[in-house]
Chains A and B, each alone.
Chain A
Amino acid sequence: MSEVRYTDQHEWVNLDGDTATVGITKHAAEQLGDVVFVEVPEAGRKVGAGGEAAVVESVKAASDVYAPVGGEVVEGNKALADEPAKVNADPEGEGWFFKLKGVSKDEFAKLMTKAQYDEFVKGL
Chain B
Amino acid sequence: MTGSEETLRKTPLYELHLELGAKMVPFAGYAMPVQYPTGVLKEHLHTREKAGLFDVSHMGQAFLSGGDPAKALERVTPADVQGLKEGMQRYGLLLNDRGTIIDDFMFTHLAGEKDLYLVVNGATKEGDFAYMADKLKGHATLAPKPDRALLALQGPAAGKVLEKLSPGIDTLTFMRVRRATVAGCPAIVSRSGYTGEDGFEISLEGKDVEKVARALLADPDVLPIGLAARDSLRLEAGLCLYGHDIDESVDPAEANLVWSIGKRRKMDKDFPAGEKIMDRVLNGTAKKRVGILPVGKAPAREGTEITDKSGKVIGKITSGGFGPSLNAPVAMGYVETAFAADGTEVDLMVRGKPNPARVAPMPFVPNRYKRK
* Chain A residues within 8 Å of B, Cβ to Cβ: 33-34, 36-37, 39, 55, 57-62, 81
Question: A59 contacts B298, CB within 8 Å?
Answer: no
Question: What are the 5 tightest A-B residue pairs by CB atom distance, in nearest-first order?
Answer: A36-B322, A34-B41, A59-B40, A60-B228, A59-B322
Question: A37 contacts B351, CB within 8 Å?
Answer: no
Contact residues of B between 152 and 191, Cβ < 8 Å to A:
none
Q: Apart from A33-B40, A57-B322, A60-B228, what are 8 other A-B pairs with CB-CB below 8 Å?
A: A33-B39, A34-B39, A34-B40, A34-B42, A36-B322, A57-B298, A59-B41, A62-B299
Per the bound structure, the CA–CA distance linking A55 and B300 in Å amounts to 13
Question: B351 contacts A55, CB within 8 Å?
Answer: yes
Which residue, of A34, A37, A39, A59, has the highest number of chain B Cβ atoms within 10 A?
A59
Q: Report whether over half of chain B's contact residues are helix, strand or loop; otherwise say mixed.
A: mixed
Which A residues are CB-close (under 8 A) to B321? 59-60
Per the bound structure, the CA–CA distance linking A96 and B86 in Å amounts to 59
A–B Cβ pairs within 8 angstroms, 23 of them: A33-B39, A34-B39, A34-B40, A34-B41, A34-B42, A36-B41, A36-B299, A37-B297, A37-B322, A39-B351, A57-B299, A57-B322, A58-B40, A59-B40, A59-B228, A59-B229, A59-B232, A60-B34, A60-B228, A60-B231, A60-B321, A62-B301, A81-B297
Question: Per-residue CB proximity of B274-318 to A under 8 Å, as 1/0?
Answer: 000000000000000000000001110100000000000000000
A85 to B, closest residue via Cβ:
B41
B35 within 8 A of A: yes
With contacts A34-B39, A55-B351, A60-B321 taken as known, whether A39 is within 8 angstroms of B228 at the C-beta atoms is no
Per the bound structure, the CA–CA distance linking A37 and B39 in Å amounts to 16
B324 within 8 A of A: yes
Question: A37 contacts B40, CB within 8 Å?
Answer: no
Per the bound structure, the CA–CA distance linking A59 and B301 in Å amounts to 10
Per the bound structure, the CA–CA distance linking A61 and B231 in Å amounts to 12
B42 to A, closest residue via Cβ:
A34
Which B residues are CB-close (under 8 A) to A61? 301
Question: Would you give the shortest CB distance from B174 to chain A, in whole angstroms?
Answer: 27
Which residue, of A39, A60, A61, has the highest number of chain B Cβ atoms within 10 A?
A60
B44 to A, closest residue via Cβ:
A59
Per the bound structure, the CA–CA distance linking A62 and B322 in Å amounts to 11
Question: B298 contacts A37, CB within 8 Å?
Answer: yes
Question: Would you give the shortest CB distance from A10 to chain B, in whole angstroms?
Answer: 17
Which B residues are CB-close (under 8 A) to A59? 40-41, 44, 228-229, 232, 321-322, 324
